[in-house]
């Protein structure tokens, strides 16, 4: 079996693709892969470390305002489609899977013109421009949220989940919290704003940290490198009183830590949601207001309506509100359990398997 995977620009497009590749490698060690991304995408830092054959296309997105750059975008797209056709012909895949991003648009479109079976995977509850464009051409459409089905042709859209969930679901509980100076059997709240941190969340945490003193639960906060020093040097925080709180610039074993916590606080990216719902973990989500089409808010709202999460907006976030919302959940076992069950109901831990089953249907 030969599979060409394409997608990039952000980790939200790349990590689901790599999770799927790892799943197939375990099931079928003879399977061959190629990954195609953009020359300036995050994939250029990630893919070389994986050992997967990797090629890039020069491509860019459209500007939202009238701009001469959009003429260049069209030229680059047409050029990339031509280059993508050469790549597809040379590799001769059984199927091409696109996970989003502009390079994905060119490669999947080229594959459809060559009559190669194609699948796109949409991670968010509201699709991006690329997948909307491709939906009319591809063989099948895989979605991670039920809410996303309404935007695609019903007859070829299938709910599969996000393959990243499969990786996380295989992680076992452990005493990993002791590595951060916390108690392994104490209720724990994990707070993080992504690998770089989040300004508004960090400002709220500067206010919130002293308020966690004496709580029955403990807190692990991943601040991001850019905010770590500010927190360590804050005159408002008496670290001797905060024996139940640890702040780290970055958490290396995020999935392992997550499975040992009772509540997550963070952004509402598609990958993060796939991870915590696969574990049945309740969450307080603070969607980033800087994401295209406000996708994070829509992702969070999909889980709010089923009772799996509580949502706070970036604009309203304060330390006091954050602590009060955490207390509301962590001090009420019934609320915590109901949210956990709702999260588990939304999780799709066998997402990679579901996606592969869809792959097998289009190449038969």
d(CA 309, CA 186): 21
Q: Is 345 left (phi over 0), alpha (psi -120 to 50) or beta?
A: alpha
User: Which pairing describes strands 95-98 and 2-6: parallel, antiparallel, or unpaired?
Assistant: parallel
pLDDT, one tens digit per residue, over 62-106 is 555 555 565 666 788 888 899 999 999 999 999 999 999 888 999
Domain 2-162+349-363 fold is Rossmann fold (3.40.50)
Domain ranges of the chain: 2-162+349-363, 170-346
Burial class (CB in 10 A: 0-12, 13-18, 19+), 260: buried
- Tell whether 11 is in a known binding site: yes
- Strands (DSSP E) found in 69-117: 95-98
CATH topology of domain 170-346: Rossmann fold (3.40.50)
Fold: same for 2-162+349-363 and 170-346: yes
Distance CA 300, CA 296 (A): 6
Beta bridge partners of 313: none
* Residue 344 to residue 279: CA distance in whole angstroms: 7
pLDDT value for 60: 60
As a residue count, the chain comes to 364
What per-residue confidence (pLDDT) applies to 135? 96
Q: Rounded to 10 degrees, what is the CA torsion of 118, 123, 127, 129?
A: -60
Provide the pLDDT for residue 11: 86
Q: Has 251 been labeled as part of a binding site?
A: yes
Does the annotation list 195 as a binding residue? yes
Cβ atoms < 10 Å from Cβ of 90: 10
* Positions of the chain with pLDDT lower than 50, given as ranges: none
124 is in an annotated binding site: yes
Residue pair 219/243 in contact (Cβ under 8 Å)? The answer is no
pLDDT value for 169? 93
Tokens at 134, concatenated: 């491709």
Query: pTM of this prediction?
Result: 0.88
Helices (H) and strands (E) in the chain, counts: 14, 13
C-beta of residue 286 within 8 angstroms of C-beta of residue 192? no
Q: Is 296 annotated as a binding residue?
A: yes
Q: Are 330 and 186 in contact (CB under 8 A)?
A: no
Predicted local distance difference test score (pLDDT) of residue 193: 86
Give pLDDT tens digits for 102-118: 889 999 999 999 999 99
- How high is the pLDDT of residue 69? 64
Six token digits for residue 221: 């906060």
* 100 labelled ligand-binding: no
pLDDT of 68 reads: 55
- Packing angle, helices 295-304 and 333-346, rounded to 10: 120
């Amino acid at each position: 079996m030969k599979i060409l995977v394409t997608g990039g620009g952000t980790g939200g497009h790349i990590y689901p693709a790599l999770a799927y590749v790892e799943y197939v490698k375990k099931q079928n060690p003879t399977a061959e892969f190629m990954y195609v991304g953009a020359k300036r995408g995050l994939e250029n830092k990630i893919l070389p470390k994986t050992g997967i054959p990797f090629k890039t296309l020069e491509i860019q997105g459209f500007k939202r305002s009238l701009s001469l750059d959009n003429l260049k975008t069209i030229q680059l797209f047409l050029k990339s489609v031509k280059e993508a056709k050469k790549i597809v012909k040379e590799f001769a895949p059984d199927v091409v899977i696109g996970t989003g991003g502009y390079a994905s648009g060119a490669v999947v479109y080229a594959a459809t013109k060559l009559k190669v079976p194609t699948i796109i995977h949409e991670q968010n509850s509201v699709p991006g421009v690329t997948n909307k464009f491709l939906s009319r051409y591809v063989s099948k459409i895989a979605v991670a949220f039920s809410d996303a089905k309404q935007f695609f042709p019903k007859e070829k859209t299938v709910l599969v989940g996000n393959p990243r969930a499969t990786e996380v679901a295989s992680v076992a509980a452990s005493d990993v919290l002791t590595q951060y100076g916390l108690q392994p059997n104490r209720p724990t709240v994990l707070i993080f704003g992504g690998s770089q941190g989040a300004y508004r969340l960090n400002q709220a945490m500067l206010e919130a940290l002293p308020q966690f003193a004496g709580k029955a639960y403990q807190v692990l906060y991943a601040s991001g490198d850019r905010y770590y020093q500010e927190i360590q040097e804050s005159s408002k925080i008496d670290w001797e009183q905060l024996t139940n709180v640890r702040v780290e610039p970055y958490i290396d074993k995020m999935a392992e830590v997550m499975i040992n916590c009772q509540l997550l606080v963070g952004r509402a990216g598609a990958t993060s949601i796939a991870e915590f719902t696969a574990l049945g973990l309740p969450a307080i989500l603070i969607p980033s207001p800087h994401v295209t089409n406000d996708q994070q808010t829509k992702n969070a709202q999909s889980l709010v309506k089923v009772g799996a999460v509580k949502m706070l907006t970036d604009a309203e976030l304060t330390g006091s509100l954050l602590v009060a919302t955490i207390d509301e959940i962590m001090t009420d076992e019934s609320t915590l359990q109901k949210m956990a069950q709702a999260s588990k109901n939304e999780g799709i831990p066998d997402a990679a398997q579901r996606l592969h089953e869809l792959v097998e249907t289009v190449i038969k």
